Structure 1
Amino acid sequence: MTRELTLLEGQTLFQQGDKAERMYVIRSGKIKLVKSKMGQSVVLSYLGEGEFLGEMAIITNSLRSCCAIATEDTVLQVYERERFEEMLANNAGIAARIIEGLVIRLEKTTERLMEPVTLLEAESE
């Protein structure tokens, strides 16, 4: 079973380190993902309509790796852990979409990690 959840701008969906019991699909609005470590925070990405979040911690059975904050009023479709796992097991199309989304995020993260290295290498030549 799924349900809808509405967040107002600035409202936090989950905190880094929270237990993961559900994943979300953004129906409208935007969510900012922020990771904090040793007092420093970095924006990992902004997610919008049709994108999903919260699946990684469910798949790996780990705690939330970042904080999710609404940057505008946002409506989410909420999938409890059991429903999400059932969808993955019974629907290859949904599983493929999740995998595709994870790969795209990994590619974007890799690109962002390489930006400072590229700038430093160019300056040293």
Structure 2
Amino acid sequence: MSGPDEGANDDIAPSQHEIALEAGAILFSEGDVGDRAYVVRTGRMEVSRRVGSAHVVLAVEGPGTILGEMALIDDQPRSATIRALEPSSLTVVPREAFDFHLARTDPVIRMLLERFTTIIRSISAENVRLILGIR
């Protein structure tokens, strides 16, 4: 026999929490395993890649931006390094919470997210090659 609370939390996402970063702090590095995403609340974050000794800045992101989501969508390593350019606060979205929301998304939208992630990874790699003049 099931208790009164069994299944009661089926529609509640796992908890999220806030973190603070000082200017210059690395949130995660290119190649790391992704187990969470982050939503920027305050501050600015640099998105970069390293090819050999070259440091290529791909973007600077601010409040309202989600970071690290691609590794959760396609289970690939982090595609870039994220560094705080100034004191920043972020909401941590654990894989369980991300998967909770993704599982409730229309299957066609999930397929689009997977496809867009593949395209973004490809374009990002090509942009770095073009910036550095690598063929």
What is the TM-score when the length of structure 2 is the normalising length?
0.68
2:71 counterpart (52, 57, 81): 57
Alignment partner, residue 3 of structure 1: 17
**How many Å separate the matches in 2 of 1:10 and 1:40?**
18
Cα distance in 2, alignment partners of residues 3 and 91 from structure 1 = 23
CA distance in 1: counterparts of 2:42 and 2:52, whole angstroms = 33
How much does 1:90 deviate? 2.0
Is 1:29 equivalent to 2:43 in the alignment? yes
Partner of residue 78, structure 1: 92
User: Where in structure 1 are there 5+ consecutive unaligned residues?
Assistant: 117-125
Identity %: 33
Structural mapping, 1:1-125, within 5 Å: 1-91=15-105, 99=113, 106=120, 113=127
Cα distance, 1:16 vs structure 2: 1.1
- Across the aligned residues of Structure 1 and Structure 2, the Cα RMSD in angstroms comes to 2.7
Q: Give the aligned length.
A: 106
Q: By how many angstroms is 1:91 displaced?
A: 5.0
TM-score, normalised relative to structure 1 = 0.73
More helix by share: 1
* CA distance in 2 between partners of 1:78 and 1:89 (Å): 19
Larger radius of gyration: 2
Question: 1:120 corresponds to which residue?
Answer: none
5+ residue gaps, structure 2, are: 1-14, 131-135
CA distance in 2, matches of 1:88, 1:60: 12
What letter is aligned with 2:42?
Answer: S
Shift of 1:87: 1.1
